[in-house]
Each structure stands twice: as structure tokens, then as C-alpha cells.
Amino acid sequence: MGKTYRIAVIPGDGTGPEVVREGLKVLRAAAQKFDLTLETTEYDFGGERYKRTGEVLPESGLEEIRQMDAIYLGAIGHPEVKPGILEKGILLNLRFALDQYINLRPVKLYPGVWTPIKDKGPEEIDFVVVRENTEGLYSGSGGILKKGTPDEVAIQTSVNTRKGVERCLRYAFELTHKRNKTRTLTLCGKTNVLTYAFDLWERAFHEIGERDFSDVKREYAHVDATCMWMIKNPEWFDVIVTDNMFGDIITDLGAMIQGGMGIAAGGNINPEGVSMFEPIGGSAPKYTGKNVINPLAAICAGAMMLEVLGEEDAADAIERAVMKVTAEKLKSLAAGKMGYSTTEVGDMVASLL
Ligand code: IPM
Ligand code: MN
């Protein structure tokens, strides 16, 4: 008998429910094939619930989710809710409350997928970004003084703890070792300007690397140069590790070179706790309910969830099915231009398992 996993499902806003539906279809097909049981519990957190009740993430829901094996999330963000409320109240709140200190974002160009980078293909675009996910500029440290006056002051502080930086770096070194590609870990920072924050990152990087990961080659690139190399020579990267803010920015760039938000998946990982998997694009309100959004990012997030849960064969099978669909079926990864509906893409991936 295979294992049973309890999954909290948060379809969320906009096109979230549509892509989660296809993701679950594929996950269920994989579960059947690999003899796993997925027990799903759905939570209606998101813009609609907030508008109805004023609640973002109820304490009782959070306590239930703490007992689960993983969270599968669609999208958070509602056009009628002021920006920040849902993002902070649900997404960031879950990341922080569950101490999901790694944001894992693979940048992998699948066969048949168009990339805006000329003369680069799947051979050249295949790296992973490890983004610190609980500290930095996202910590909420700072404030506004003399608000609304001409003397107004706004301060937002990047918080970098030795513990937070070390655990993130360690995860990245282990991943680089395990990937076994070029065994190169690049620290992306800004040591020439952010001379406190990235001084800590850089020292910890070399200390840990030298002490415990002598088989991993260490590289360093400033964040602006990282953006440049991601376009010019993406093949130079194997694993990139960086702080929360830089990681947020460079992974949107990464999503574009791997074919867009239709395919980019991410995991908010607590290696010792409950992790959360999501397509990294937003709720795409204008496509909501039209059955045209690309579900592959959500499907890939589902595969990543299985991989992190330890079901690597099932995860690989989903990834192979996705690659077959991108290589042989889809005309484009963009919403409305795939040549198939959201439902049909989910059906194809599920049937190829
Ligand atoms: C992401 C998103 C979030 C972030 C927003 C919605 C708070 O952009 O997951 O990358 O900045 O982390
Ligand atoms: Mn982002």
C-alpha cells in the first residue's frame, strides 16, 4: 500500500480555481498510477471570502493546515481588494507562519516552448533559484514617521539573520550537490552597496561552502549582473541563491525566459514542516472563467509538491507528460493561444501519465 498525504487546497482568486482543478486532475491520475492516496481539504481563503467576512486567514484554518502534509495554492489577488491585503494576509502570512524559509523556483525551458532569448534552447536554460523566503525586505520591519507631512520619512529595513541566511545557503548547497549538474552555486547579491546585508551572506556562503561542500563550486554575481547573465548566458547558471527581494525580482525574469507565467512553478518550502506549492503567476482576473488560462504552471507546482513529499517517480512522470505536451501539442503557452482549453490541457497531461 502506498502512502496517504493530506493536502490543503487553496484555489484562491481569479483563475486560481481553474488551474487548481486541472492540477488536482493530474495529481489524482498520478496518485492512482503510483498507488498513493491524496486526501484533499479545500479552503476558501481569498478575495471573495475577504469581501464577505473581512477575514483573510482565520486562525482556526491556519491551525488545521499546520497538521497537513502540504498546501496546494492557486492564486491570491482580487481586483476589488486593495493591493497588499490578501498578499500579506494570506500568502506572506502562510509563508511566515509555517516558516517556509525556502522559495524554490526552477527556471527550465521545456522542449517546444518559445523563449524570447535568441539562439538558446532547453540545453541552455535549466537552472534553479533558491530564494530566501522569510526575511530581508519582506520582514515588515520599518515604519513611516510624520506621515502625510512634508517631513515624512519611510523606512523599510532588510532583516538578515545568521540563522536565516545559513539555513537558506545550506539548502542551496545541498540542492546543488544533489542536482549534480555543474555543481555550481552562485550567490546573487549586492556586496558593493549593501555592505552589511551581503557581507553576512558572503561570509556565511564561503564558510559553509568551504567547511561542508568542497565539491560545490562557489560563484558570486551582483544582482544587476545576474539579470544580465540570465539573458546573455543562462547556461552559466546551475543553482542561484539569493535574498527575498532579489529572488522575487529575478524569478519573474526567469519565468519569462522559460516561456512565461503559464509554466513557472514555485515551492514555499519548510524542509522540516508544511510546504506550499503554487504557480508563480497571479490571479489573471481578465481570463477568469473563460477556460483559456494555461494550467501547466499549476500542474508543475503539483509535481514539485510530490517531489518534496518524497514521491520522485510520480513527480518525474508528471514532468515527462508536461514536456510531451509542450513539445508536441501546444501552439503557445500564453492564455487563449494554446490551441486548447484549460480543461483539455489538463486532460492531455493526465492521459499521458
Ligand atoms: C511572488 C509574489 C509575492 C511576493 C507577492 C504577491 C507578495 O510576487 O510570490 O513572487 O512578492 O513574494
Ligand atoms: Mn513575485
- Looking at the fold, whether 121 and 254 belong to one and the same domain comes out as yes
Ligand 1 neighbour 91 (Cβ under 6 A) = yes
Among 85, 86, 90, 92, say which to mutate for ligand 1: greatest number of ligand atoms within 8 Å of CB: 92
Give residue 77's pLDDT band: very low, low, confident or very high (50, 70, 90).
Answer: very high
- Residue identifier of the C-alpha nearest atom 11 of ligand 1: 248
DSSP class of residue 136 equals B
- In 3D space, the residue among 139, 209, 220 whose CA is nearest the CA of residue 176 turns out to be 209
One-letter amino acid at 238 equals D
- In 3D space, the residue among 124, 212, 117 whose CA is nearest the CA of residue 167 turns out to be 212
Contact present, 44 and 104 (Cβ < 8 Å): no
Ligand 1 neighbour 352 (Cβ under 6 A) = no
77-92: average pLDDT: 95
40-49: average pLDDT: 97
pLDDT digits (tens, 9 = 90+) for 121-140: 999 999 999 999 999 999 99
User: What pLDDT, on the 0 to 100 scale, is given for residue 262?
Assistant: 96
Question: What b/e string do you get for 83-118 counting C-beta neighbours within 10 Å, with b at 16 or more?
Answer: eeebebbbbbbbbbbbbbbbbbbbbbbbebbebebe
User: What pLDDT, on the 0 to 100 scale, is given for residue 141?
Assistant: 97
Choose one of 198, 228, 258: the last residue of a domain.
258
> CA-CA distance, 150 to 143, in Å (whole number)?
16
Among 105, 133, 248, 268, say which to mutate for ligand 1: greatest number of ligand atoms within 8 Å of CB: 248
CA distances from 32 to 2, 185, 216, 314, 326 (A): 10, 37, 38, 10, 23
Choose one of 258, 277, 301: the last residue of a domain.
258
All 3 cell numbers of residue 182? 555543474
All 3 cell numbers of residue 290? 473563460
199-219: average pLDDT: 98
Residue 202 neighbours by CB under 8 Å, 6+ apart:
187, 189, 191, 220
- Residue identifier of the C-alpha nearest atom 9 of ligand 1: 280
User: What pLDDT, on the 0 to 100 scale, is given for residue 1?
Assistant: 67
User: What pLDDT, on the 0 to 100 scale, is given for residue 2?
Assistant: 85
- Looking at the fold, whether 165 and 216 belong to one and the same domain comes out as yes
> CA-CA distance, 132 to 244, in Å (whole number)?
5
> CA-CA distance, 300 to 42, in Å (whole number)?
19
pLDDT digits (tens, 9 = 90+) for 248-297: 999 999 999 999 999 999 999 999 999 999 999 889 999 999 999 999 99
Q: Mean pLDDT across the chain, nearest whole number? A: 97
CA distances from 81 to 20, 84, 91, 141 (A): 22, 8, 14, 24
- In 3D space, the residue among 258, 332, 339, 246 whose CA is nearest the CA of residue 300 turns out to be 258
Ligand 1 neighbour 311 (Cβ under 6 A) = no
- Looking at the fold, whether 174 and 133 belong to one and the same domain comes out as yes
Choose one of 221, 240, 258: the last residue of a domain.
258
- Looking at the fold, whether 158 and 191 belong to one and the same domain comes out as yes
Q: Which atom of ligand 1 is nearest to the CA of 244?
A: 12
Q: Phi and psi (nearest 5°) for 31?
A: -60, -45
- Residue identifier of the C-alpha nearest atom 7 of ligand 1: 87
- Looking at the fold, whether 129 and 248 belong to one and the same domain comes out as yes
Determine which helix (DSSP H) or strand (DSSP E) holds 121, and give its type and residue range: none
CATH of the domain at 300: 3.40.718.10
Whether the predicted pLDDT of 239 surpasses 70: yes
- Residue identifier of the C-alpha nearest atom 12 of ligand 1: 248
- Looking at the fold, whether 69 and 204 belong to one and the same domain comes out as no
- Looking at the fold, whether 234 and 275 belong to one and the same domain comes out as no
- Looking at the fold, whether 279 and 348 belong to one and the same domain comes out as yes
Quick one: which ligand is closest to 92's CA? 1
According to DSSP, the residues that pair with 136 across neighbouring strands are 159
All 3 cell numbers of residue 206? 564561503
Domain carrying residue 61: 1-110+264-353
Angle made by CA atoms 107, 305, 201, in degrees to the nearest 5: 55
Chain-centroid distance, C-alpha 125 = 17
Quick one: which ligand is closest to 279's CA? 1
pLDDT digits (tens, 9 = 90+) for 157-173: 999 999 999 999 999 99
- Looking at the fold, whether 25 and 124 belong to one and the same domain comes out as no
- Looking at the fold, whether 164 and 249 belong to one and the same domain comes out as yes
- Looking at the fold, whether 239 and 128 belong to one and the same domain comes out as yes
Report the predicted TM-score, pTM, of the whole model to 2 decimal places. 0.97
* Cβ neighbours, 10 Å, residue 287: 17
> CA-CA distance, 1 to 221, in Å (whole number)?
48
- Residue identifier of the C-alpha nearest atom 5 of ligand 1: 87
193-199: average pLDDT: 98
- Beginning with the edge strand found earlier in the chain, give each strand of the sheet holding 70-75 in spatial order: 37-42, 4-12, 70-75, 275-279, 265-269, 102-108, 126-132, 239-242, 184-189, 217-222
- Looking at the fold, whether 227 and 283 belong to one and the same domain comes out as no
Ligand 1 neighbour 253 (Cβ under 6 A) = no
Domain count, the chain: 2
User: What pLDDT, on the 0 to 100 scale, is given for residue 326?
Assistant: 98
Ligand 1 neighbour 280 (Cβ under 6 A) = yes
Give residue 245's pLDDT band: very low, low, confident or very high (50, 70, 90).
Answer: very high
Compute the distance from residue 281 Cα to the ligand 1 centre, in Å.
9
